[in-house]
């Protein structure tokens, strides 16, 4: 079992930056591939990107490339999402998720989410 808790969300003006954190507890954090998703009001959940066990490999949705960066610190059991040049369309609840394997569609553990609101 892994428990995930996101933090760092808030209100930011368009063009600004935020860094989200996801702290994990439970089983060995470095055993998990970590991912970020987001869900805007009235829309389906959207994949943002994922990072491998050691933090030296990432994969992003095409629409997220260039502005969003995922990193992790296994010593702190934490994964981060750095978001730059934010746009109102980035307004959503952001979730982190964990699974054992790099490929696949299912994530086994989810956080409760953190709200990000970008004002124009």
pLDDT at 101 over 90: no
Q: What residues have CB less than 8 Å from 18, skipping those under 6 apart?
A: 8, 9, 10, 12, 82, 83, 86, 116
Confidence of residue 1 (pLDDT cuts 50, 70, 90): confident
pLDDT in tens, 26-48: 879 999 999 999 999 999 999 99
Pick from 59, 39, 71, 43: nearest CA to 104:
59
Confidence of residue 94 (pLDDT cuts 50, 70, 90): very high
pLDDT in tens, 59-76: 999 988 899 999 999 999
pLDDT of residue 27: 78
Q: Measure CA of the first residue to CA of the last residue in the chain; give whole Å.
A: 40
What sign results for the dihedral spanned by CA atoms 42, 81, 120, 47? negative
**Percentage above 70 pLDDT, the chain:** 100
């Amino acid at each position: 079992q892994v428990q995930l808790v996101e933090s760092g969300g808030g209100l930011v003006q368009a063009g600004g930056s935020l860094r989200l954190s996801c702290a994990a507890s439970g089983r060995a954090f470095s055993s998990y591939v970590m991912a970020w998703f987001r869900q805007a009001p009235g829309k389906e959940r959207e994949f943002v990107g994922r990072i491998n066990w050691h933090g030296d490999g990432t994969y992003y949705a095409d629409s997220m490339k260039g502005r969003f960066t995922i990193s992790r610190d296994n010593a702190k059991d934490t994964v981060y999402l750095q978001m730059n040049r934010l746009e109102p369309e980035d307004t959503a609840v952001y979730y982190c998720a964990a699974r054992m394997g790099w490929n696949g569609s299912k994530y086994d553990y989810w956080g409760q989410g953190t709200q990000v609101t970008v004002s124009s």
